[in-house]
Structure 1
């Protein structure tokens, strides 16, 4: 039985992806401030849920750094942010289809005692 990412993380990923795709349009500056906060928190939550998957941690770590509201990264031109927003939105959508590997537990079956002719008592 495979376990998937929890529904809460999936919901956060969908919300972040939607907001990132919406950021391609011309929006007020307050929207982009809110976008930074929500995407930063969403990336951190995904990082904490996938700690053992190094590639995803690195990818969402970069997203968290780019959208960091505490020490913001300014690229000054919207043309630079549009591909970043689209790629980040796609990555948030990809996490929906990602399944965490589960620990494979080996089922221990009881061993059968071998019976030999010499062991029988007559």
Structure 2
């Protein structure tokens, strides 16, 4: 999945240059597939904030009903932001919380103390 997300990001960065219309159709398809994949994964993980972000990316880059902004100066920042999003998701590593069993193993053994082992000091009266 990491490789596919990097490919999506690189395609977004290449879209900054003046290219034929066929490339932008290809870009819409690739970015939409990447967004669908991430939406599926995050919906299963119940991470709804990122799901909404990539639903917006899917709507903007969908190849079935394309949104034409007609100016390259509008698309360039959108391509850069989308590429950065894909790179951040690809290289972000979430640390998993340690299991409780592992925590119990990592603790040093405790010494038990018993009430009968107490040393009682006698107060001396002067």
* Cα contact 2:36–2:58 (8 A) shared by 1: yes
Q: CA deviation at 1:19?
A: 0.4
Cα distance in 2 between the residues matched to 1:44 and 1:13:
11
Q: CA deviation at 1:81?
A: 0.3
Which shifted more, 30-39 or 50-59? 50-59
Give SS of 2:100's match: coil
Alpha carbons of structure 1 residues 41 and 22: separation in structure 2 relative to 1, 3 Å: same
Aligned residues: 108
Gaps of at least 5 residues in structure 2 are 105-113, 115-126
Structure 1 moving runs of 4+ over 6 Å = none
Cα distance in 2 between the residues matched to 1:99 and 1:41:
22
Are residues 1:94 and 2:55 paired? no
Q: CA deviation at 1:100?
A: 4.3
User: Counterpart of 2:8?
Assistant: 16
2:35 to 20, 40, 43: 43
Q: Higher helix share goes to which structure?
A: 2
TM-score (norm 2): 0.73
Are residues 1:78 and 2:72 paired? yes
State which structure, 1 or 2, has the greater radius of gyration over its C-alpha atoms: 2
* Cα contact 2:5–2:34 (8 A) shared by 1: yes
Cα distance in 2 between the residues matched to 1:73 and 1:104:
45
* Cα contact 1:21–1:86 (8 A) shared by 2: yes
Cα distance in 2 between the residues matched to 1:98 and 1:56:
13
